[in-house]
Amino acid sequence: MHSRIAGTGSYLPAHILTNHDLARQIDTSDAWIRARTGIHERRIAAPGEQTSDLALHAARAALGAAGLAAADVDLIVVATTTPDMVFPATACILQSKLGAKNGPAFDVQAVCSGFVYALTLADKMVASGAVRNALVVGAEIYSRILDWNDRGTCVLFGDGSGAAVLVPSADPGILSSHLHADGSYRDMLSVPGSLSEGQVIGTPFVRMDGGAVFKFAVKALADVAREALAANELSSDAIDWIVPHQANIRIIEATAKKLDVPMTRVVTTVDRHANTSAASIPLALDEAARDGRIAAGQHVMLLAVGGGFTWGSVLLRW
């Protein structure tokens, strides 16, 4: 028994924050942000919107694409670094908003690799027969953990959500997963804050060593892609689409170059979405699936890297 993706969905909050808008608030420019990151604009969640609300829109769209109802969902995994609250898990809140019942629901915290981690767990549970249909969501509201006076970080991120429905399949949809982490790099990218006795201890905003992250990300993405190719005895020519984490167009281009894959076979949304962390891969996957770029039978490689540091790949036959 295997699992395959039967439907995808995504959601972006209505409010668009452009680079020009940011340049009116802090010492930056559209030209600097475009040249260094490829980002033109990002979405910002409305004040009353929660991560579970973003997840709900994407989940409904994915279920619709899969032709399934909420009652058919046996497992919900939400990848997020920006949960609604400390607990319960955003996955449980989503389950209730969706009107699903009974199956397990939990969050995965692997920062920008969260969706690839969550998809891997769900694949193992569906393929083993432990559950039947699984809903995997990446949803984030990074706008609430950014220091809007820190131009080195606040220009990079945005809010959004994406989802995929996994169903059992006689033929493999998910061909392989490779996950990694190395916590010795934990200080390179973090939100080093916590709650204690009603107070925020430390810093509740994203802190990052941008140059170090850049170098680490390119190496990790290329290494894990090669690991997946070797495990499946494929060359990079056999990959129809790479759907990478959308951190920065320069990271994506450098990775594609290392893998000898032209950018025409790489799905990018970073120009419009910025870095939506765990939501970035399912957002990009949904866009390319819905506009018909990804076709039945094609090989699709998801590549992720994020805080922790964590990194990983999922290779799919669509």
CB of 258 to ligand ACO, least distance (A): 16
How many chain residues touch ligand ACO (CB under 6 A)? Answer: 24
Q: Is-catalytic flag, 299?
A: no
Which of these is catalytic: 112, 178, 248, 273?
A: 112
Residue 271 φ then ψ, to 5°: -60, -35
Closest CA relative to residue 104, chosen from 136, 68, 140, 64: 136
Which of these is catalytic: 245, 248, 273, 299?
A: 245
Q: Is-catalytic flag, 245?
A: yes
Q: Which whole-number Å values give the CA distances from 285 to 33, 50, 96, 222, 224, in the listed order?
A: 24, 22, 26, 19, 19
CB of 171 to ligand ACO, least distance (A): 33
Q: Which stretch binds ligand ACO (CB under 6 A): 7-15, 39-47, 91-99, 209-217?
A: 209-217
CB 226 within 8 A of CB 286: no
Nearer to ligand ACO among residue 27 and residue 260 (C-beta): 27
Q: Interaction with ligand ACO in 255-284: which residues (CB under 6 A)?
A: 275
Nearer to ligand ACO among residue 87 and residue 148 (C-beta): 148
Q: Interaction with ligand ACO in 119-178: which residues (CB under 6 A)?
A: 151-152, 155-156
CB of 192 to ligand ACO, least distance (A): 15
213 interacts with ligand ACO by CB under 6 A: yes
112 interacts with ligand ACO by CB under 6 A: yes
Q: Which stretch binds ligand ACO (CB under 6 A): 193-201, 242-250, 264-272, 288-296?
A: 242-250
CB 239 within 8 A of CB 256: no
Q: Is-catalytic flag, 112?
A: yes
CB 162 within 8 A of CB 112: no
Nearer to ligand ACO among residue 44 and residue 92 (C-beta): 44
Query: What are the residues binding ligand ACO (CB under 6 A)?
Result: 28, 32-33, 36-37, 112, 151-152, 155-156, 189, 208, 210-211, 213-214, 217, 245, 247-248, 251, 275, 305-306
Q: Which residues are catalytic?
A: 112, 245, 275
